[in-house]
Amino acid sequence: MASLWVRPAFLSAVLLLLLEVASAGLNGYFGTKSRYEDVNPYLVRDPLSLGPAAVGSGLPPSCAPLQLRALLRHGTRYPTAEQIRRLGDLRARLLRRRPAADSGAAAAACPVAADLAAWQMWYNESLDGRLAPQGRRDMEHLARRLAARFPALFAARRRLVLASSSKHRCLQSGAAFRRGLGPSFSLGSDEAEVEVNDSLMRFFDHCAKFVALVEENDTAMCQVKAFKEGPEMKEVVEKVASALCLPVEELNADLVQVAFLTCSYELAIKNVTSPWCSLFSEEDAKVLEYLNDLKQYWKRGYGYDINSRSSCILFQDIFQHLDKAVEESKSSKPISSPVIVQVGHAETLQPLLALMGFFKDDEPLKANNYIRQAHRKFRTGRIVPYAANLVFVLYHCDQVKNPEEEYQVQMLLNEKLMLFQHSNETISTYTDLKDYYKNILENCHFKEECELPKVNNTAIDEL
């Protein structure tokens, strides 16, 4: 019987048609490289939509907002230089086998590898984590939505305090946020520059204990390393090697992860479905998401106490400004800082949320409990995607039953009301909130928390 020969061009066309379907199941698993639209899908249709109305916010109608404090992650960015180098390494391995794949038969046998070898490498190391055009749009649209949600606070000539991490992507995100508000908004006495404040936005860099015992300590990431070498990742690596017609020895977890992240970057930056997406099934994506979440858990989340304790300097600053607004209100003075917006990183928001007790699972994330963590709370793609935002809103309420109800607070994460840890409600009196976090507010001292231990114990003992 004659064999059926299929033209490589036809196979490529079929592959492109299937990419859209293949990648649709991956979008929810890109971890910290997730698009903001994957958290709020209604924004795909209308980037200025405020989404479905919140049900049961519990806010009395007599309450008016006094102060808004917004902590933002920068918008969509390009890959870092290290990620670009790894992608270049992976592509070089594909190109080395290209001569053998130039024949029609070889391309038919390995269509994914042929397509990826032909893919144009448009990233260069000079992009190194810089803000992408989509990132500017992320910030401009977020500013307009926040102004629409809180029009009294964002009214013309109200004062805006705008600060940022020193990283270029954050400074540009802050500038884009400011542009989104239009020309009538006041930046106070100094309208020219966004204030750089790394002590709050990059507190982790200034915490010697965190840097020595987590950031620069390879053993601190032992769970991440174990998962990379475990059965789940091994299966994904073998599957990708087979699809690329490469010996499995040519690949490792890091190279497979960079292929997966390239799928996410192409979607977030260019809104296209990359041929790199075709390497992965939804089950593969879940494994790679867990790898990303493991790293965030042990480096920025609940893995070690110092991860979250290092953020108490930011936490306390938030409450100092809320305290000041309450005092000004009680004295019938105008609120000096009605809107405070600070632009940082996923690494700024994640430790702060852990300090406050959000998204904590009963069982720690580990290399050997992937299956049991299928329904975990700690999923970074839902918590800190690009343009993630944590907003504290302080209200003054008239016609209250008792004085404690006069000042109330709501928190929003990615424009959704959060349930407070102490009450499971979306509204809290300011007094109750301060009482719940009294220990952190009074006893978490950044200098003491971040001081390196004088005794020369091992890092794991200290952690």
pLDDT of residue 188 exceeding 60, the answer is: no
- What would the mean pLDDT of 340-351 be, rounded to a whole number? 98
**95 or 304: which carries more pLDDT confidence?**
304
The dihedral built from the CA positions of residue 34, 36, 41 and 47, taken in this order, carries a sign that is negative
Per-residue confidence (pLDDT) for residue 349, from 0 to 100: 98
* Largest Cα span, the chain: 93
Per-residue confidence (pLDDT) for residue 14, from 0 to 100: 43
**2 or 62: which carries more pLDDT confidence?**
62
Contacts of 401 (CB under 8 A, 6+ apart): none
pLDDT of residue 287 exceeding 60, the answer is: yes
User: How many Å apart are CA 88 and CA 13, to the nearest integer?
Assistant: 25
Beta strand extents in 60-168 (DSSP E only): 63-73, 160-164
Candidates 74, 141, 321, 345; catalytic one? 74
pLDDT of residue 106 exceeding 60, the answer is: no
Helix (H, G, I), strand (E, B) or coil at 102: coil
378 neighbors 129 (Cβ within 8 angstroms): no
Instruction: Work out the pLDDT band at 15, boundaries 50, 70, 90.
Output: very low
273 neighbors 19 (Cβ within 8 angstroms): yes
- What would the mean pLDDT of 98-113 be, rounded to a whole number? 65
Instruction: Work out the pLDDT band at 202, boundaries 50, 70, 90.
Output: very high
Whole-number percent of the chain with pLDDT over 70: 87
| Residue that the structure tokens 């269509």 belong to | 111
User: How many Å apart are CA 300 and CA 388, to the nearest integer?
Assistant: 15
Whole-number percent of the chain with pLDDT over 90: 79
Contacts of 46 (CB under 8 A, 6+ apart): none
pLDDT of residue 16 exceeding 60, the answer is: no
Annotated catalytic, 206? no
Q: What is the pTM of this model?
A: 0.90
Phi, psi of 448 (to 5 degrees): -70, -40
Beta strands 428-429 and 407-413, pairing class: antiparallel
Per-residue confidence (pLDDT) for residue 10, from 0 to 100: 45
Instruction: Work out the pLDDT band at 52, boundaries 50, 70, 90.
Output: confident
Average pLDDT over all residues of the chain: 90
Q: What is the CA radius of gyration of the chain?
A: 24
59 neighbors 427 (Cβ within 8 angstroms): yes
pLDDT of residue 50 exceeding 70, the answer is: yes
Instruction: Work out the pLDDT band at 58, boundaries 50, 70, 90.
Output: confident
- What would the mean pLDDT of 241-249 be, rounded to a whole number? 94
**142 or 115: which carries more pLDDT confidence?**
142
Query: What are the tokens at 28?
Result: 């929810």
Number of helices followed by number of strands (H, E) in the chain: 22, 8
- What would the mean pLDDT of 431-453 be, rounded to a whole number? 96
